[in-house]
A and B are shown apart, each in its own frame.
Chain A
């Protein structure tokens, strides 16, 4: 900062002096010392001047040097600046040396920036080049594998779907768990705005930022870096900076890529005959003999007459057809991305205008996402003291969505759960359906429903910066984030009647959100000899207002009019609104001595409307320091060690991501969870809708971070090792209540948990030759999460399908029964039942259940009381990985570039709940081919239980049968590019031309039996992480593209 100020002052002085001076003209060519290739876009300025020029496509420049000046500075991103003293010559060819000191990179932090070298906090950054050309929808996906300490999981492969980002583990149970995203200084709204149920298919407001617009992403991980964002920072802060205009010639860049996507996996299912055989086995196992009155039934036709079986499944199995439904729903889907940017400006005004269009069809038929966006980033210098500017973007996305996940009318779910023994279409062309099942024909499920979601968003900020004194700057920032989110669904009469009423039904939902922000800061910078100080004081005011409108109706005049005006019966009409405010003050003081001993302290005070008067104010302090040991004289002899820095921090951050009125006890007029009116028989209704804790307040995380940064061989190799301990107190938790109180939960502060971990980030320049270069980035993060205390005297809490919160365990633990094996004969069961009677003293006691038979699962009697009860469940695993990380390699050979990114997660389990249905063998649901190995009296050496209708032994209860190893390593990205040498490019009158081919998720190494180990059905709920229930897999994507610059 100090440097910038000095330059600025010099500029002012120069501007006054040089107005009437004489000029001299010089010229030449700038090349890279690495490969001798010309460097276009190098900024060339007379030292101290405001004006400057840039090199053109072949690296050439001409510059007018005012009389009296003779020092010229050449600077270019990634290269060390070079100073030229102008003599009598008029031609100067310059070779720029590339800058390997990544530690000098700029790090954007809250309300300012610093250099990586002098930073005292734990931050990780990505630059535009790191995420370029990857066909990702949102910036959250692009973080995956590249940032130590950040675990990114796409909830599903749904286009535009939700992504889970965890910075240094999970630090909350029920409150929001995503990091705070700050785009160009404005904290933005993220998450899903969807009001219509799609199983768990959610939308992701973060997709409203075009990744191509991003200059850099900085992740603030420890309290030293994040505490300046106070009450919203405990999940980490992701600071996104978009590309801004640069002085010089106007550059036009066009990027285009296109390709296709395929599913990473399909799962073998039974054929029709195999399925019917299994079903018939199941029926006869359930009713080996059935006696009603005087008649005994024991054959399929008999059972059918009793209504105990489906007549359609009674014939010889071999007579049934086979439809592979997965083949019907997966497709090779196109994906395209178009981007244009126009960047340039002069000393007064700089601009960056971008526009993009992203178009993706999902690998599941019926799903698509497209996004159009445009942006203007403008900076204008009014006077030496006064600067103004804006970042303004408009975005509109349209997605056609399909039911997903936990929904029997979904596309993938019906493809798994519908019987294979029926034809895709009937002879008359109508959809083939199982009349005894409410599962929709998957083809109908993706063809017939209309589900259109449009998201429009205007995100704009305006700033003004005024230099009150040479060392004191005032900055104000106004921002508006306005979203209109519209969903509409029409279910035509052509759907399975269970999915849509006979005459069609429709829902329309609007959501709008206006978030207004004003922030004002004063920054003071001063150096006295070896001492530098920097003070920041600021104040922020933020208000969020949202409105919802929801209406539904049925009975349409045919299927052609899809809007509610045509619905004869209106079944729902409701509207709601909510608001919240946050008023804050914050400050930061930095001090360094000789840029070697660095200290920093921050404090933020937040007041949130979400808490009751008296509990609104929270204070979030942080202190940190760093010592650059390598700058000490006693280290000078160790030439190989170019940087050695030790840093440490302590601080507190908070979390206020709870409902706007969570602290209030409320009487409501509408049950939003059941989407039900409280009115009765036409009379308005009210009910006690929420129990509130008036003492509700912030969740607070205290973090300690200790780290060492190494740079070897002139920082050609850099290594950062961070160790941290984070303890979260006053957890914002939905405290489960005994239902006899009339409520089942209320939000309160209770319990604590900890995350401790180690992050290693290694960056090396392995080879740096004239023709060949190779760089590597390896990062690995170990995190251990532990719940330290819970509400109700540490009463455990169940979540999701089999997730469990218990003191001493990690969030995301799974709990259920332990499988001991299969019962092989009746004697084994009788023996256990006899023992159960002895142990319990009850003559009716049974080890398991009354209908338990050979081929059923024998569960472990954990407490040894002789009977299997709910108390016999235990912890079976955890969704928390032992470590995650990434391994990225970039190669360059002459004009070719190759990069390969691997990303991995190890030691986590997944609850594959899909299998409890698709290997359930208890209903008419379609089944995976693994059920061919089911237990029968002749196939006893197996772990797959017998088929039995209705599952009277509850073989499908949550048990370790469905808990699987979720570790995986995945080649996230592989790309190969070729850049036209710039002399050739110049002949074509282009500044640059590059073509590339890329593949995402090309290889996945895992033992996981489900579709995809990168899965999170309940992505928004950390407590039930790592569950897979009929969730769409990730796509394997192949793209080809071109970058052209003029």
Chain B
């Protein structure tokens, strides 16, 4: 029998095919393939280095919202503000965000070639452009900018790769870091294109037009483009009052915890979806052993003390049961808590800050008080721009605690308090510097 096989069928014997993968040449050539590929882009956000653990937690741990109470040396470095360039958890942030970009690049490159009439080409490209913009923005927030903040002269960027890595030649092409400004240009280009292409008709689980607009507002806030940020946030907030399918409303203060415990609340603009077969470890890292967690981190008493008496958000962010934890991520096993990518309250706070910066103190105060009143607090009476900004910044900290924003906001205000200012930028992973053959240059100081 084998002797017979040797002749003509030798080649056939040697042609074995993978059973759980598709060949890259055929994977993204059909509508079904591309649609699954878009799921893959969202899945990129769900990687541990990105929105499910490291990138979600480190911005609070590197700032004043979290205390390290665990055992991982890599996390201890973050809490101690003494991150080394070979920190493997920082490397996984870099690798997972860049991997997500590559997933998006694949779809953006392949989608125009799909001729299936049922394929929603614009939506597909818009979703991937929005996520790519988010990913580059997140890289800038962590690894780029200047020690004094963002969008300063000479700010450092990251390598821009806008074409998919399809073969080893692509992979071996050396790409150096672009300037921070060039990366913003690309981010805004993607978002502008996405805003045009995206419809208003998708649920909070996926990127839609308002997500792209709200994200662009966040970018403009970092770029101190106050007027544009004000316009964009207004567009999103106005859409609350229009009668389209997406009608965002803030959840009442008494039900504040349900934003996190029930999926896709009325103020959720974009929420990364998790389920039993697609779970995360966020609550696991927070929660104590007795509840099935690893007790790696706890909410800081510094943050607890920042809450005013009667704040309805306090127990969600600094819980009494379990002690010193939070209730935003409470499902340890399986970890089905969703991750908030964009909420209406952030949009209000972004507009408040932009208006304050533009001198529209009345408008700013009104937006601030929307958030304060919802939290069960009395309306702020801040009258000067400085007082108002301080109040908005405090509210932003408490409203968005545990949502991966804190340290980046402190960088925006240039108030991180780090004596070694080079540490305002995280180190480019040593592996990246080495494996790019030095093309990707380390941040100064590391």
Chain A residues in contact with chain B, CB under 8 A?
A: 292-293, 305-308, 408, 433-438, 496-498, 500-502, 505, 518, 520, 539, 541, 543, 554, 569-573, 576-581, 583, 607-609, 613, 616, 660-661, 664-670, 674, 676-694, 736-744, 746, 748, 792-793, 795-796, 798, 842, 844-846, 849-851, 869-870, 922-925, 950-954, 956-957
Contacts and interface: CB of A to CB of B under 8 A. Distances in A.
Nearest to A844: B420
A502 B436 CA distance: 46
Interface residues of B, number: 113
B432 A738 contact: yes
A925 to B, nearest CB: 6
Given A308-B67, A543-B13, A681-B273, 15 more contacts: A436-B288, A502-B333, A570-B276, A609-B16, A664-B24, A665-B24, A667-B33, A677-B43, A681-B39, A687-B41, A687-B44, A738-B435, A741-B170, A851-B82, A870-B446
Contacts of B1: 518
Nearest to B203: A681
A674 B48 contact: yes
B91 A739 contact: yes
A292 B302 contact: yes
B445 A740 contact: no
Given A307-B300, A689-B21, A952 B98 contact: no
Nearest to A792: B437
Given A436-B289, A846-B420, A670 B44 contact: no
Interface stretch (B2-10, B214-222, B339-347, B408-416): B2-10
Contacts of A869: 85, 446
26 contacts: A305-B301, A307-B298, A408-B71, A498-B295, A543-B13, A607-B14, A608-B14, A616-B14, A667-B28, A674-B48, A676-B278, A677-B278, A679-B39, A684-B36, A684-B39, A686-B28, A739-B91, A739-B95, A739-B435, A869-B85, A922-B73, A923-B76, A950-B76, A952-B82, A953-B82, A954-B82
Contact of B437 (A670, A793, A849): A793
Contacts of B43: 676-680, 685, 687
Contacts of B48: 674
Contacts of B158: 740
Interface of B: 1-3, 5-6, 10-11, 13-16, 18-25, 27-28, 33, 35-44, 46-48, 67-71, 73, 76-77, 79-82, 84-86, 91, 94-95, 98-99, 101-103, 105-106, 158-159, 161, 164-168, 170-171, 175, 205-206, 273, 275-279, 284, 288-295, 298, 300-302, 305, 324, 332-334, 419-422, 429-432, 434-437, 439-440, 445-446
Nearest to A540: B2
Contact of B94 (A736, A739, A850): A739
A923 B70 contact: yes
A505 B275 CA distance: 16
5 nearest CB pairs, A to B: A742-B102, A667-B27, A685-B39, A687-B40, A501-B333
A440 B273 CA distance: 31
A736 B3 contact: no
A688 B102 contact: yes
Contact of A957 (B84, B277, B440): B84
Nearest to A679: B39
Nearest to B81: A850
B82 A849 contact: yes
Contact of A686 (B36, B82, B86): B36
A844 to B, nearest CB: 5
A684 B30 CA distance: 14
Contact of A742 (B21, B71, B99, B292): B99
A659 to B, nearest CB: 10
B334 A798 contact: no
B273 A541 contact: no
A950 B288 CA distance: 18
Contact of A660 (B18, B27, B205, B289): B18
Contact of B435 (A579, A792, A850): A792
A690 B18 CA distance: 12
A680 B431 contact: no
B21 A669 contact: yes
A867 B9 CA distance: 64
Contacts of A668: 20-22
A70 to B, nearest CB: 48
B288 A435 contact: yes
A907 to B, nearest CB: 28
A680 B42 contact: yes
Given A307-B300, A666-B21, A683-B39, A922 B76 contact: yes
Contacts of B99: 739, 742-743
B292 A502 contact: yes
A660 B14 CA distance: 11
A684 B86 CA distance: 35
Contacts of A578: 18-19
Contacts of B430: 798, 870
B2 A665 contact: no
Nearest to B446: A869
B86 to A, nearest CB: 6
Nearest to A610: B16
B290 A688 contact: no
A689 B47 CA distance: 13
A1018 to B, nearest CB: 15
A850 B77 CA distance: 12
A26 B24 CA distance: 79
Nearest to A846: B420
A69 to B, nearest CB: 43
A578 B102 CA distance: 27
A404 B165 CA distance: 38
A436 B290 CA distance: 9
Contacts of A742: 98-99, 101-103, 105, 161, 164-165
Contact of B23 (A664, A738, A956): A664
A842 B445 contact: yes
A116 to B, nearest CB: 34
B73 A956 contact: yes
B82 A667 contact: no
| A306, A924, A925, A950 — most chain B CB neighbours (10 Å) | A950
B42 A438 contact: no
B273 A583 contact: no
A237 B276 CA distance: 47
Nearest to A794: B437
B333 A554 contact: yes
Contacts of B103: 687-688, 742
Given A438-B294, A679-B43, A951-B76, A746 B70 contact: no
A679 to B, nearest CB: 6
B15 A609 contact: yes
B82 A660 contact: no
Contacts of A581: 13-14, 16
B440 to A, nearest CB: 6
Contact of A844 (B40, B84, B86, B421): B421
Contacts of A674: 47-48
Contact of A850 (B21, B82, B85, B168): B82
A518 B291 CA distance: 56
B165 A739 contact: no
A952 B80 contact: yes
A299 to B, nearest CB: 16
B83 to A, nearest CB: 10
A741 B166 CA distance: 10
Contact of A569 (B10, B164, B276, B278): B276
A795 B82 CA distance: 26
B3 A539 contact: yes
Nearest to A433: B289
A851 B27 CA distance: 52
B431 A576 contact: no
B420 A505 contact: no
A742 B446 CA distance: 24
A739 B159 CA distance: 10
Contacts of B293: 438, 497-498
A677 B164 contact: no
A950 to B, nearest CB: 5
